Amino acid sequence: MNKKLGLATCQIDSVPGDIEGNLQTLANSIKANLFYGPWVQLVCASELCIQGIPNMETVAQEIPGAITQACSELARQHGIYLVPGSIYEKKNNRIYNTAPVFDPQGNLLGLYRKLYPWRPHEITSSGEETCVFDIPGIGRVGLCICLDLWFPEVIRDLVWHGAEVILIPTATSTADRRLELILAQAAAITNQCFIVNVNGTGKGGNGQSLIVDPEGNILQLTGQGSENMTALLDLGRVETVRTQGTYGVTYPLASFFHERHRFDYQHKDYSESPLADSLKLFR
């Protein structure tokens, strides 16, 4: 089976609140990717690149809505799977940071609502479920957003559900971006999968998007300006590394599931932890 996935990313410098302009920037970025990589099947953009980060109450939209309709048309027009970063979604009097997924026919294939908003600054509601989707004949893709990368449980759950490559739209503009590069490598190493972390630029992040292979090698790393990446990922390498070992010697994923340990934090309430009295939780 040919398990090669043609992937492209859009590291976008968006203008907060200029939805129409940002959609055009995304459209131009997709066209550029497909010009240089006509074999591209899946495109992923950076977090909140269409609406911008500020003023979520003003720019939030329902799904389906005008933004998702425009993204659906982009996917259909180009015949690609599309993750247009994420958008502020208005639902049941709440606002979520939500990443939609479109198939090549423009159908809404899935939605992922960010499990771990960046507290205390990000006041969106937290989602409740992880998200994977299939590209028939090629493989399974997992999806999470930005700070979710800091939680090994999120990545491990996506892998448990069969993800071979994990997309992480991001909007990090702070000094800890350096740490996210390390976390992306660590997630790929411990889960033996591809990690694709797509950061924004300008007011949407400080760039340095990257693609990491199942053994933790950085395949591509962008700069801090607007920049795209295209890559042909051999998802067959995921199975090879998992079955034959990282560098042929280490089996972290098989070992984790083989031992069947369950840790206290997985089945006990936080109030039972020694941290309960000292760690300040967000209200």
Q: How far apart are CA 75 and CA 165, in angstroms?
A: 20
Strand pairing of 194-199 and 108-113?
A: unpaired
Q: How far apart are CA 224 and CA 202, in angstroms?
A: 8
DSSP label of 280: P
Enter the tokens of residue 226.
Answer: 């607007």
Residues ≥6 apart with Cβ < 8 Å to 271: none
Enter the tokens of residue 161.
Answer: 């559900």
Enter the tokens of residue 110.
Answer: 């899935």
Domains and CATH numbers, the chain: 4-247 (3.60.110.10)
Given this model, what pLDDT does residue 151 score? 98
Cα-Cα end-to-end distance for the chain: 50
Q: How far apart are CA 6 and CA 253, in angstroms?
A: 25
Given this model, what pLDDT does residue 278 score? 86
Helix (H, G, I), strand (E, B) or coil at 197: strand
Reference 15, options 66, 54, 71; nearest CA is 54
DSSP lists the bridge partners of residue 228 as: 10
Reference 233, options 195, 207, 197; nearest CA is 195
Q: How far apart are CA 188 and CA 142, in angstroms?
A: 13
Enter the tokens of residue 248.
Answer: 């042929």
Check: CB of residue 93 under 8 Å from CB of residue 124: no
Q: Locate tokens 């089996």: which residue?
A: 251
> pLDDT tens per residue, the chain (283 residues)?
689 999 999 999 999 999 999 999 999 999 999 999 999 999 999 999 999 998 889 999 999 999 999 999 999 999 999 999 999 999 999 999 999 999 999 999 999 999 999 999 999 999 999 999 999 999 999 999 999 999 999 999 999 999 999 999 999 999 999 999 999 999 999 999 999 999 999 999 999 999 999 999 999 999 999 999 999 999 999 999 999 999 999 999 999 999 989 899 989 998 899 988 888 777 6
CB atoms within 10 A of CB 116: 19
Per-residue buried b or exposed e for 98-107, using 16+ beta carbons within 10 Å of the residue's own CB: bbbbbbbebe
CB atoms within 10 A of CB 69: 12
